[in-house]
Structure 1
């Protein structure tokens, strides 16, 4: 009888396996709280922006978003943000590599300096960059004889956006490099691979998801940047005027519907670009997992 009871209980044990207790409450409660928190802090303000922009007629909305000044400001914001994000991917990965793979005096100080753009107020960063890269500044004075002008140009916008976006790439790539198995690099060298081949075929594929994540964070941070850009950009309409500044100008003229309409356009463009980047990141992870 005991043997029959034990045999009959085995299928039940397979049907209802014992669960390990979870640290958090059940799925329904945690999901509900997460959705409520996300909706309160993110979705509700975004919905208010769209509702406010709906106060414009379709003709007025289209005339505003297709105005040459609006298109020029969007081109400056998104173009400079993309260029700055690409620059940060290269130099951010290089900085993370140096911090992880080498031991040298002042390494901890350099590691702390990377986080300064996080703590520094953006307006202070803009004033500092303007002072450095002005024609009579320490760096601008050296570049002026070479015919390179940074302050109050499109290049100055890129410099400011690169400054505030660098930590996102470094802090995203750094932990991945720390966990990267050096044995794979040693095995590649043993098999006769050069340093460039090891970097291209072993290191970069492993870092690709982290690099894409850092690029996305740096780009998203740069698109909405305002404080550090307006001091070094010069804010010339059709040339160095950014879209966030154009929104502030609309608010200063009490054109709240126009300001929210510009915000909606920026949100839609940023969402499409970020969605494309996330899809590319998911594809790279699947490809890496398949390899």
Structure 2
């Protein structure tokens, strides 16, 4: 009796309707409801109130630092992540699995622990800082330390978006290009990079969006000096402690809008490249 097939039309697991209902309910309560509340509060400020909060010099300094550091860190994480993914996928060496596992360490490590560890390494009496600061390279309690912390938490996004594309790409196209007389640089530029470009852009967008809202790993190494090393997420907390809820909401809404734009870009990039490839195929 146990070997009899299940009646046609019946599934052993819940169907589409129930799964979609539960999934949307949890998504709405945990994600959409808080974001909608923030959007409503931000809209209630009005254009004048929102601009008044954003035009504060301290707010502008923190936003410039957060956006600039996140952009630079995303670029550095993109380059380093692509190299790490290339090494992990294309080469076999002792410790390869350990290296692959260490890539995900920033995901598992509490951000505060990462910030404390980076500060201990790059401070004036740290393992690395004691050699850099006498040479005029101040890392801890400076914008450079913020960039390093954001590279640390953004690197896994770059690696994990590029790695599966490299695994699926294989070596056949590269070997064919070399057999036709293409140099290594030409093969990289004309064969490998076009295939990796959507993944590279996605990894950059993810690292940038994560860097904009990062808090725990940055505040310890930043120094948190107003107008110098004070990031926007920290200023949100300060505004809340000062009972300046409108100022906190304005900054949070701006960061939310920037993250939403990154999310749209992440979803649009594959479709744009797929449309471009279809257009080339018709030609």
Structure 1 length as normaliser, TM-score? 0.85
> Displacement, 1:61?
2.6
Counterparts of residues 97-136 of structure 1 (less than 5 Å): 97-136=86-125
The 8 Å contact of residues 215 and 234 in structure 2, kept in 1 or not, is answered as yes
Alignment match of 1:259 (pick from 237, 242, 248)? 248
| Bigger CA radius of gyration | 1
SS of the counterpart of 1:98?
A: helix
> Displacement, 1:265?
1.6
Match of residue 136 from structure 2: 147
Counterparts of residues 166-205 of structure 1 (less than 5 Å): 166-205=155-194
Counterparts of residues 240-251 of structure 1 (less than 5 Å): 240-251=229-240
> Displacement, 1:214?
1.4
Total equivalences in the alignment: 273
Distance 2:126 2:29 in 1: 46
Deviates more, 1:265-274 or 1:21-30: 21-30
For the structure 1 residues 105 and 77, does the alpha-carbon distance in structure 2 shift closer, same or farther, using more than 3 Å as the test?
A: same
RMSD of the TM alignment (CA)?
2.3
For the structure 1 residues 179 and 47, does the alpha-carbon distance in structure 2 shift closer, same or farther, using more than 3 Å as the test?
A: same
Match of residue 4 from structure 1: none
Alignment match of 1:285 (pick from 257, 274, 280)? 274
Residue 81 (structure 1) aligned with residue 70 (structure 2): yes
- Structure 2: which 5+ runs fail to align? 1-7
Counterparts of residues 17-56 of structure 1 (less than 5 Å): 29-54=18-43, 56=45
> Displacement, 1:27?
5.1
The 8 Å contact of residues 208 and 284 in structure 1, kept in 2 or not, is answered as no
> Displacement, 1:32?
4.3
Per-residue Cα deviation, 1:229-278 (whole angstroms, up to 9, x for no partner): 00111111112111100000011123333322221121123323443454
Deviates more, 1:117-126 or 1:266-275: 266-275
For the structure 1 residues 23 and 255, does the alpha-carbon distance in structure 2 shift closer, same or farther, using more than 3 Å as the test?
A: farther
Distance 1:285 1:72 in 2: 39
Distance 1:54 1:272 in 2: 18
Structure 2 length as normaliser, TM-score? 0.87
Distance 1:215 1:57 in 2: 33
Match of residue 69 from structure 1: 58
> Displacement, 1:24?
6.8
SS of the counterpart of 2:229?
A: coil
SS of the counterpart of 1:131?
A: helix
Distance 1:57 1:180 in 2: 50
For the structure 1 residues 94 and 22, does the alpha-carbon distance in structure 2 shift closer, same or farther, using more than 3 Å as the test?
A: farther
Deviates more, 1:270-279 or 1:239-248: 270-279
Match of residue 218 from structure 1: 207
Distance 1:21 1:78 in 2: 52
Residue 238 (structure 1) aligned with residue 227 (structure 2): yes
The 8 Å contact of residues 53 and 258 in structure 1, kept in 2 or not, is answered as no
> Displacement, 1:183?
1.1
> Displacement, 1:116?
1.1
